[in-house]
Amino acid sequence: MRVALVTGAARGIGAATVNHLARDGWAVLALDACAGPDAAPYALPDVADLEAVAAPHAEVEAVVADVRDRPALDAAVARALDRWGRLDAVVACAGIVGGGRPLWETDEAELDLLWDVDAKGVWHTAAATVPALLAGPDPSGARFVAVASAAGTHGLFRMAAYNAAKHAVVGIVRGLAADLVGTGVTAVAVSPGSTDTAMLRATAALYDATTDDLAAHQLLRRALRPEEVAATLVFCCSREAAVLNGSVVSADGGFQA
């Protein structure tokens, strides 16, 4: 049985990824900070949400852990190794969105939050998990997958801090892929477009717009479903995805800024 660790697992793309992996026979350690409905800058999932994702699957375990907390991530990796004895794939999906003002009017606290969760969160996740991928029984099939965004390639209106953080995710993955040369372990970034999640609704609220307004920027002319993006992430966890090493996979429905 192959084993994956997924962050941001309590809802949206993260939850869909956990479900897809579990259906495919993976064991999954599902992590989320579970900050709850009173979190800032918008409501986030709670422990009950995370447990509901894990409950249908015997080989999915829910763990409350914040990607800003490196010791918590180290403990999560130790838990996966203790239960299953290996780690084969990591999907760094945890993230939040912010914006609504031009760069020069953006509060530094918002920049710090987005940087700490969206960029440094991927860094911490990689730092905690890659040694276990390298030490596993099948490093040539081990995969690190980070969720970036169309904002990691395009400049989005009044979202400079989010753009910066997601561009950093791409840079982290490319640097990690270079560091992994010769090990068999690979790293890839996946950049979704507008996906039907709570984060998309929070993004629309920043612009006083609708989710349909945002989805209109995609050639599909609709929001993506979390399950569609999850399918791409799960493929990136496969042995066959070795050819994507160091790449940015655009799972964005033909996004055009």
Whats the size of the chain, residue-wise? 257
H-helix or E-strand spanning residue 87: none
Q: What is the C-alpha separation between 214 and 196, in angstroms, rounded?
A: 10
Catalytic residue among 84, 123, 144, 162: 162
Residue-wise pLDDT tens digits, 221-242: 888 899 999 999 999 999 999 9
| More confident call, 76 vs 155 | 76
Other Cβ atoms within 10 Å of 239 Cβ, number: 13
Question: For residue 187, what are the β-bridge partners?
Answer: 144
Ramachandran sector of residue 89 (left: φ over 0; alpha: ψ -120 to 50; beta: rest): beta
For the segment 47-98, what is each residue's pLDDT rounded down to a tens digit? 999 999 999 999 999 999 999 999 999 999 999 999 999 999 999 999 999 8
The whole-angstrom distance between residue 54's C-alpha and the CA centroid of its chain comes to 17
pLDDT at residue number 257: 67
Residue 4 reports pLDDT greater than 90: yes
**Looking at the predicted structure, is the pLDDT value of residue 215 above 70?**
yes
Query: Residue 256: which pLDDT band, with cuts at 50, 70 and 90?
Result: confident
Whose tokens are 């579970």? That residue is 34
Say whether 162 is catalytic.
yes
Higher pLDDT, 150 or 93: 93
- Threshold 0.85, pTM exceeds: yes
Sign of CA dihedral 204, 208, 214, 215: positive
pLDDT tens, residue by residue, 156-196: 888 899 999 999 999 999 999 999 999 999 999 999 988 88
Most confident of 71-80, 146-155, 246-255: 71-80
Q: What is the DSSP string of 190-223?
A: EEE-SBSSHHHHHHHHHTT--HHHHHTTBTT-SP
Rounded Cα gap, residues 153 and 167, in angstroms: 7
Q: Summarize the confidence of residues 30-55 as an average pLDDT.
A: 94
Distance CA 83, CA 1 (A): 12
